[in-house]
């Protein structure tokens, strides 16, 4: 299977993770012109599963290093599988909230707040897992400084969001979007550490018996997301945060282009997630997760400059957004240096 063998390559791939995690929301914005996010989310999850299987049977099965996918999943211990399943369920609960927040408040609000909070808390969860497995988690001082700068960036985004101009969203719905993003980030911070526990972070080429490779972990994870979606998304469809309930019959009335846009979003997210696991051995679980969670900066750029989510806002709001970008970049720089 494909294994990352250098820290420099791991860092480069971590920036790809950031782009993937910060860009998949664009597919939701595109689909939203004629498609409710609850319906989009089904295509998104299906895209995740299909892409994870594609990776498993290609990069996860070729080459002389590591266990090929089918051999690896056959020897996986029940504890490893259940740990990944729990991570998948936690992620799905949080990501549905994040998608709801995006549909209400926009990418430039939902991602910096929700995913930024997940970065802050998730780094420490993954740092603890790395210590438990005996791997080098990186310089704790630089990690802490990087996280502190990201927190400051989140605060700037929150202040800017509260002062932006009329976007056609009521104050009540805007507050709802912010609350949903906060809850999403709080829950999302826990999913990655459960998945990391199921992998041997010290040796992907010859992982310990019962532990799984990143490719197997990604497949199990996405299947757990799909299974839990029959519960979580069904509830949200019947009791939506905003708007009228939607039905499964409406989903099957969607055209092929709309469905494919949603699946593309899931594939983009899945690529980023698989790379976050693949790079965890060389970059460290905390650092690979933290760099990938720089996605809020990418999402904010899309939201501000492409989707014009702050159109009509006072000049001081754009000043706050500029400070947010600078703080995010500085924070990510500290996280890279921590290794």
Query: Is residue 165 over pLDDT 60?
Result: no
Q: What CA–CA distance (Å, rounded) separates 220 from 85?
A: 7
Question: How high does pLDDT run on average in the chain?
Answer: 87
Q: What CA–CA distance (Å, rounded) separates 182 from 173?
A: 14
**What pLDDT sits at residue 236?**
94
Average pLDDT over residues 217-235: 97
For residues 163 and 2, which has the higher predicted lDDT (pLDDT)?
A: 2
Query: Is residue 294 over pLDDT 60?
Result: yes
Query: Is residue 167 over pLDDT 70?
Result: no
Q: What CA–CA distance (Å, rounded) separates 200 from 212?
A: 7
**What pLDDT sits at residue 284?**
77
pLDDT in tens, 296-333: 778 778 888 878 877 778 888 889 889 988 998 898 88
**What pLDDT sits at residue 168?**
62
Domain parsing of the chain, residue ranges: 7-337
For residues 157 and 141, which has the higher predicted lDDT (pLDDT)?
A: 141
pLDDT in tens, 87-118: 999 999 998 998 888 888 777 678 777 877 88
Average pLDDT over residues 139-161: 82
Q: How confident is the model at residue 251 (pLDDT cuts 50, 70, 90)?
A: very high
Length of the chain: 339
For residues 233 and 170, which has the higher predicted lDDT (pLDDT)?
A: 233
**Hey, which bits of the chain come out as E strands?**
none
**What pLDDT sits at residue 164?**
66
pLDDT in tens, 10-50: 989 988 998 998 898 899 888 877 789 899 999 999 999 99
Task: Identify which of 58-67, 142-151, 281-290 has the greatest average pLDDT.
Answer: 58-67
Report the candidate in 227, 157, 216, 195 with the shortest Cα–Cα distance to residue 292. 195
Query: Is residue 163 over pLDDT 90?
Result: no
Terminal C-alpha separation, the chain: 25
Q: How confident is the model at residue 196 (pLDDT cuts 50, 70, 90)?
A: very high
CA atoms lying within 13 Å on the CB side of residue 76: 27
């Amino acid at each position: 299977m494909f294994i990352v063998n250098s820290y420099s390559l791991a860092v480069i791939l971590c920036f790809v993770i950031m782009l993937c995690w910060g860009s998949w929301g664009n597919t939701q914005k595109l689909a939203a012109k004629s498609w409710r996010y609850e319906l989009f989310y089904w295509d998104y999850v299906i895209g995740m599963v299909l892409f994870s299987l594609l990776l498993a049977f290609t990069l996860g099965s070729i080459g002389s290093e590591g266990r090929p996918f089918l051999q690896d999943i056959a020897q996986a211990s029940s504890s490893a599988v259940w740990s990944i399943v729990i991570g998948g369920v936690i992620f799905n609960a949080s990501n549905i909230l994040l998608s709801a927040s995006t549909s209400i408040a926009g990418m430039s609000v939902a991602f910096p707040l929700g995913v930024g909070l997940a970065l802050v808390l998730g780094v420490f969860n993954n740092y603890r897992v790395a210590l438990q497995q005996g791997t080098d988690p990186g310089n704790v001082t630089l990690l802490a400084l990087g996280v502190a700068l990201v927190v400051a960036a989140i605060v700037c985004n929150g202040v800017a969001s509260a002062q932006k101009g009329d976007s056609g969203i009521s104050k009540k719905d805007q507050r709802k979007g912010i609350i949903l993003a906060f809850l999403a980030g709080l829950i999302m911070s826990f999913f990655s550490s459960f998945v990391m526990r199921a992998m041997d972070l010290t040796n992907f080429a010859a992982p310990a018996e019962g532990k799984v490779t990143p490719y197997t972990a990604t497949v199990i994870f996405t299947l757990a997301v799909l299974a839990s979606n029959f519960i979580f998304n069904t509830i949200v469809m019947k009791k939506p945060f905003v708007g009228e309930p939607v039905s499964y019959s409406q989903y099957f009335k969607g055209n092929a282009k709309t469905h494919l846009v949603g699946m593309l979003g899931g594939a983009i997210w899945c690529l980023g997630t698989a790379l976050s696991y693949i790079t965890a051995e060389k970059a460290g679980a905390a650092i690979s997760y933290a760099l990938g969670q720089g996605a809020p900066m990418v999402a904010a750029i899309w939201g501000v400059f492409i989707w014009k989510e702050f159109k009509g806002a006072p000049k001081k709001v754009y000043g706050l957004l500029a400070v947010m970008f600078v703080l995010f970049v500085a924070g990510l720089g500290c996280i890279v240096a921590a290794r």
